[in-house]
């Protein structure tokens, strides 16, 4: 039986998800849509056999026909719909941002923690893009040595009315904020923001540059040009100790004629990342089936990709970039998770490694990543810290039962307390 999907928001993104599920995803079908514009929802539903337009997002979430929810509505509504879905145990794929504020992201994580399972996947689709997947694979292989720098560019043809300097960070730079730590395997520990355009009331400062400092000193220089005029283009070049690696151009053909070379660019992100969205949706649907059949540990949940913590982290780092805009100074992202479980004293003792400490803290109760090597290397940086052994069942380590979920028993000598 197919999985019944409900889509909240039938604008550009929601309508595209409906079309992709209907035409290209196996094991799932759209059964309901909802939008603040009911007429638009009815129009989208009319294109899908058996789908209904419901009068509200709440009706969609509560519908017995809907097994899982996609949230592609206005950013300000994301948190409330995610929370409503988690509350009744329905898996969620939420377009970025997970929530407009860090506090709302934290509340979502608390609810997942209380539920004992990850329920939310966040729509950072670049992790599913074949180019980025291959880029990461090559970096991990060591073909260019240890990655030290990345040069990124995110260029749009134009942006809608009302787009602000801050919107560029929250809706464009957030993709690099998510994908670059994933590529490098290192967390963001500092950010800075710059623009050649001087500040003026109501003026979009475009282009702009966001600089991410990663653990170990690696740097990501992210150029964001929202009104480039020539096309939609994404670039990423990673510089390592033994060479460089970059995304290849996505144009299918290059025309050489009249002493010129001509490349076509897509007008927006949909053409560039169509395959990424398809892979993202199929992976999510497959993960839900695995979860429902009991083939994965319950704590892993119906997620195969960026999860709630990734959404939280992106929100915290984005907030640090916004502070850098207003202050004109570099900032360190505050990703301190302010609720149990905590690794006592670790973040305070190693403040310069705060994000790494949070990564370790998070991993104790977030079991979804293969973080064993990363945790081992992190702990071994500090004298007296080590991983004692892999365990199954409940752990008796100082971090309590949450260690069991990640499959590690962590040991720290008393000087860590």
pLDDT of residue 322: 93
Segment 118-153, tens digit of pLDDT? 999 999 999 999 999 999 999 999 999 999 999 999
Read off the pLDDT band of 195 (50, 70, 90).
very high
Q: Which long-range contacts (CB under 8 A, 24 or more apart) does 84-90 make?
A: 84/57, 84/58, 85/61, 85/119, 86/111, 86/112, 86/115, 86/119, 86/120, 87/111, 88/61, 88/62, 89/115, 89/119, 90/61, 90/66, 90/119
pLDDT: is 220 or 379 the higher one? 220
Question: What is the average per-residue pLDDT within 53-67?
Answer: 97
pLDDT of residue 335: 58
Place of tokens 């923001």: 193
Q: How many structural domains are present in the chain? A: 3
User: Quick one: 350 and 403 in the same domain?
Assistant: yes
Longest dimension (CA), the chain: 74
Question: What is the average per-residue pLDDT within 166-172?
Answer: 96
Question: What is the average per-residue pLDDT within 212-223?
Answer: 94
User: Quick one: 60 and 156 in the same domain?
Assistant: no
Domain span including residue 64: 3-123+274-301
User: Quick one: 111 and 94 in the same domain?
Assistant: yes
Of 118-122, 161-165, 339-343, the one with minimum mean pLDDT is 339-343
Segment 270-319, tens digit of pLDDT? 889 999 999 999 999 999 999 999 887 766 889 999 999 999 999 999 99
pLDDT score of 207 more than 70: yes
* pTM score: 0.80
- Residue 250 CB partners (closer than 8 Å, separation 6+): 131, 234, 266, 272
330 inside domain: no
pLDDT of residue 281: 98
Question: What is the average per-residue pLDDT within 186-215?
Answer: 92
User: Quick one: 287 and 379 in the same domain?
Assistant: no
Query: How much of the chain, in percent, has pLDDT values that exceed 70?
Result: 79
User: Quick one: 132 and 7 in the same domain?
Assistant: no
Read off the pLDDT band of 361 (50, 70, 90).
very low
pLDDT of residue 169: 96
Segment 373-407, tens digit of pLDDT? 444 444 444 333 333 333 233 233 333 323 323 33
User: Quick one: 265 and 131 in the same domain?
Assistant: yes
pLDDT score of 154 more than 70: yes
pLDDT of residue 225: 97
The candidate with the shortest Cα–Cα distance to 188, out of 196, 198, 176, is: 176
User: From the CB of residue 258, how many other CB atoms can be counted at a distance below 10 Å?
Assistant: 6
User: Quick one: 168 and 259 in the same domain?
Assistant: yes
User: Quick one: 215 and 79 in the same domain?
Assistant: no
CATH code of the domain containing 246: 3.30.360.10
CATH code of the domain containing 50: 3.40.50.720
pLDDT of residue 51: 97
318 inside domain: no
Of 4-8, 107-111, 189-193, 341-345, the one with minimum mean pLDDT is 341-345
pLDDT of residue 296: 77
Query: How long, in residues, is the chain?
Result: 417
Question: What is the average per-residue pLDDT within 215-224?
Answer: 95
Q: Supply angle C-alpha 358, 192, 199, rounded to 5.
A: 140
Question: What is the average per-residue pLDDT within 161-170?
Answer: 95
User: Quick one: 50 and 118 in the same domain?
Assistant: yes
Segment 227-271, tens digit of pLDDT? 999 999 999 999 999 999 999 988 778 888 888 888 888 888 888
What token pair was written down for 143? Answer: 């073909």
């Amino acid at each position: 039986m197919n999985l019944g999907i409900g889509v909240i928001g039938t604008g550009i993104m929601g309508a595209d998800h409906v079309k992709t599920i209907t035409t290209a995803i196996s094991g799932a079908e759209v059964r309901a849509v909802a939008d603040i514009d009911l007429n638009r929802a009815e129009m989208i539903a009319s294109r899908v056999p058996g789908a209904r337009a419901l009068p509200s997002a709440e009706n969609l979430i509560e519908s017995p026909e809907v097994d899982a929810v996609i949230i592609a509505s206005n950013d300000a509504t994301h948190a409330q719909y995610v929370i409503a879905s988690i509350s009744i145990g329905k898996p969620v794929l939420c377009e970025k941002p997970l929530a407009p504020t860090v506090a709302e992201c934290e509340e979502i994580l608390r609810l997942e923690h209380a539920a004992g399972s990850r329920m939310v996947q966040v729509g950072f689709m670049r992790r599913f893009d074949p180019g980025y997947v291959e880029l990461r694979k090559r970096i991990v292989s060591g073909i260019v040595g240890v990655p030290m720098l990345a040069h990124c560019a995110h260029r749009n043809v134009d942006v809608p009315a009302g787009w602000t300097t801050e919107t560029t960070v929250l809706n464009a730079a957030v993709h690099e904020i998510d994908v670059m730590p994933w590529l490098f395997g290192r967390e963001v520990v500092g950010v800075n923001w710059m623009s050649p355009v001087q500040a003026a009331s109501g003026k979009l400062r475009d282009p702009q540059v966001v600089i991410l400092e990663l653990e170990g000193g690696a740097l990501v220089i992210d150029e964001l040009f929202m009104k480039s005029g020539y096309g939609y283009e994404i670039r990423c070049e990673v510089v390592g100790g033994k060479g460089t690696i970059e995304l290849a151009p996505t144009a299918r053909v290059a025309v050489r004629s009249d002493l010129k070379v001509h490349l076509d660019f897509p007008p927006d992100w949909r053409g560039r990342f169509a395959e990424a969205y398809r892979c993202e949706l199929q992976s999510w649907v497959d993960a839900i089936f695995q979860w429902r059949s009991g083939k994965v540990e319950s704590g892993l949940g119906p997620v195969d990709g960026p999860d709630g913590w990734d959404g939280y982290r992106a929100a915290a780092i984005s907030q640090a970039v916004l502070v850098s805009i207003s202050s004109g100074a570099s900032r360190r992202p505050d990703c301190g998770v302010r609720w149990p479980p905590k690794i006592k004293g670790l973040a305070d003792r190693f403040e310069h490694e705060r994000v790494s400490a949070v990564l370790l803290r998070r991993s104790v109760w977030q079991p979804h990543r293969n973080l064993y090597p990363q945790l081992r290397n992190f702990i071994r940086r500090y004298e007296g810290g080590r991983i004692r052994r892999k365990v199954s069942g409940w752990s008796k380590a100082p971090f309590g039962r949450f260690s069991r979920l990640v499959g590690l028993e962590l040991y720290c000598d008393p000087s860590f307390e």
